[in-house]
Structure 1
């Protein structure tokens, strides 16, 4: 699995961090998403996909 984020779309809602803190974080200065692991293991697929669904700006894409 590969995770791609679009920082330009991110609105800093933090839903991704609440869903998958081991994969996503937020910058302190503006709350924009920080990708901690662009290729997380399959065991993290469910929370990563949940984060993508929760994102109000649709800034997260999960690829096979």
Structure 2
């Protein structure tokens, strides 16, 4: 599975980071989320989907 955060849509609410802090990091300068690696392990897929579903801006794709 690949996880991506669209920086054009992300508003920096931080819900993804609260849901899955090991997957989603927040930039210091603006609080926008990002992932260090788009490829995630099978054990992280459920959290990635939950974070994507929880994003108020729908800035996360997990497929």
RMSD: 0.8
Match of 2:12 in 1: 12
Per-residue CA deviation, residues 4-57 of structure 1 (Å, 9 max, x unaligned), is: 210010010000001111110110111011212211101011111110011011
Match of 1:42 in 2: 42
Aligned length: 63
Kindly indicate whether the alpha-carbon contact (under 8 Å) linking 2:4 and 2:34 is maintained by their aligned counterparts in 1.
no
Task: Show structure 1 runs of 5+ residues with no match.
Answer: none
Matches of 2:16 and 2:57, distance apart in 1? 11
Runs of 4+ in structure 1 deviating by more than 6 angstroms, as ranges, are: none
